[in-house]
Structure 1
Amino acid sequence: MATAADAGNARTSVWLSARPAAPGRRRSGGEGAFGLDRERITGATVRLLDTEGLARFSMRRLAADLGVTAMSLYWYVDTKHDLLELALDRALGELPLPTGGPADTAREGWSGRLRLLACGYRRLLAEHPWVAPLAAAYPNIGPHARAFDAALQRLLDATGLADSGRTGAHLAVWQFLHGCGGTARRVPDGDFGLALDVLIAGIEAKAVAEPAP
């Protein structure tokens, strides 16, 4: 994540590091001092971001909540940004994803599943206002983010769009979710629903005009 404080400093995503699932610089397996592990620290980060917001988050404040020193956290993550990436993916893991199986297709169709996905993502952003800015700033390539994108791809595969159309629809849905779904300027529920109707109608019209071979 590039910020005013570290603009110009390149960093590697925690998900691209050599040890994405292992606590950095830990001396041994199992839980460390004070019963810490990366899962507990990530969960505490999510709770702190929910209660105090992204602007007030710091490793010192997190350490105080956990009853440890700030330096002890760096046995488990290399930087604050790594921890924020982990928290972002943890929050995305709360989002129910459509399976896209035959039963779902028969009951709701791709448009119904897309509505559920979009509304669920909107609720997630409302419950965790810090998710939207982090999703825009970070690569957002953790396991739950990839599962979300895979679910969206399955929905778009079911639309009947040609390959180029699916690429455009994917971008349109993504921009819609972070525009109308985001919390920076949150639109009323009715306007969100209407905008979602227009988006789905546009995808349907494109599928009819340019169907997949």
Structure 2
Amino acid sequence: MVTSTEPARISVWLAVRASGGQRRRPGGTAPSGLDRERITGAAVELLDADGLGRFSMRRLAGRLGVTAMSLYWYVDTKHDLLELALDRVMGELALPPAPASGPRAAAGWDSRLRKLAGGYRRVLAGHPWAGQLAAEYPNIGPHARGFDTALLRTLESAGLAEPARAGAHLAVIQFLQGCGGTVRRSSEEEFRAALEVLVAGIEANTGRPA
């Protein structure tokens, strides 16, 4: 059996929570004109322009007009920065308001699900590298968790009971992650057709029409 000698990587979001804030190098002074938000924004722009395969901290530093070492004052690794960039674009998703409580909660759950799925696809279409990162990284940043909360509320409002609700949640997530690899190869019509099959499957488990 082959064992890896590389240490297990901790998600940047878990590390930030454990430290009580964003990590910075001890001692010294922060490079002038830089902050984590600016670095993350520039990383998104570079990923959009050149793709994930050509992304490097050196190229990002050149885009910002600083040395590569300056970036490591704000992030420990390139992986950390890629996680930050992924959650930045997840913030482009327009989340539906929480469904009303009571008998009206079920009304329109299918429309909310279609909007969530369509918004996710648009993010992947606008940032093709995001689909690959979403499959590789935990994707547990604040914007990603906001999306997941909205999805869970939507499925709950549909009237699904456990374990059907957990199964539906997994099915939707797998469907959307699959879009990451096909968003440039499948048409909008094909995506919508597949989504309707998914909605129909969820509806069949609610015992009531969408």
Where on the TM-score scale, by shorter chain, does this alignment land: which range? 0.7 to 0.9
Per-residue CA shift, 1:134-185, capped at 9, x if unaligned? Answer: 0100111111111110000000001111110001100111111122454466
Displacement after TM superposition at 1:28 (Å): 7.2
The normalised TM-score by structure 2 is: 0.87
Distance verdict in 2 for CA 1:141–1:81, change over 3 Å: same
Q: Which amino acid aligns with 2:131?
A: A
The normalised TM-score by structure 1 is: 0.86
Report the number of matched residues: 201
Q: Which amino acid aligns with 1:187?
A: S
Q: Which amino acid aligns with 1:154?
A: R
Mapped to 1, the partners of 2:21 and 2:120 lie a distance apart of 25
Q: How does 1:36-47 map to 2 (within 5 A)?
A: 36-47=34-45
Residue equivalent to 1:79: 77
Please tell me whether residue 22 in structure 1 is matched to residue 22 in structure 2.
Answer: yes
Residue equivalent to 2:175: 176
State the secondary structure of the residue aligned to 2:43. helix
Distance verdict in 2 for CA 1:110–1:182, change over 3 Å: farther
Divergent runs of 4+, >6 A: 105-108
Mean alpha-carbon deviation: is it higher for 55-64 or for 107-116?
Answer: 107-116
Q: Does the CA contact (< 8 Å) of 2:90 and 2:143 recur in 1?
A: yes
Please tell me whether residue 95 in structure 1 is matched to residue 82 in structure 2.
Answer: no
Residue equivalent to 1:59: 57
Q: Which amino acid aligns with 2:118?
A: C
What root-mean-square deviation, in Å, do the aligned CA atoms of Structure 1 and Structure 2 show? 2.4
Q: How does 1:99-138 map to 2 (within 5 A)?
A: 99-102=97-100, 109-138=108-137
Mapped to 2, the partners of 1:21 and 1:95 lie a distance apart of 25
Give percent identity, aligned residues only: 63
Q: Which runs of no fewer than 5 residues in structure 2 stay unpaired?
A: none
Displacement after TM superposition at 1:186 (Å): 2.9
State the secondary structure of the residue aligned to 2:158. coil
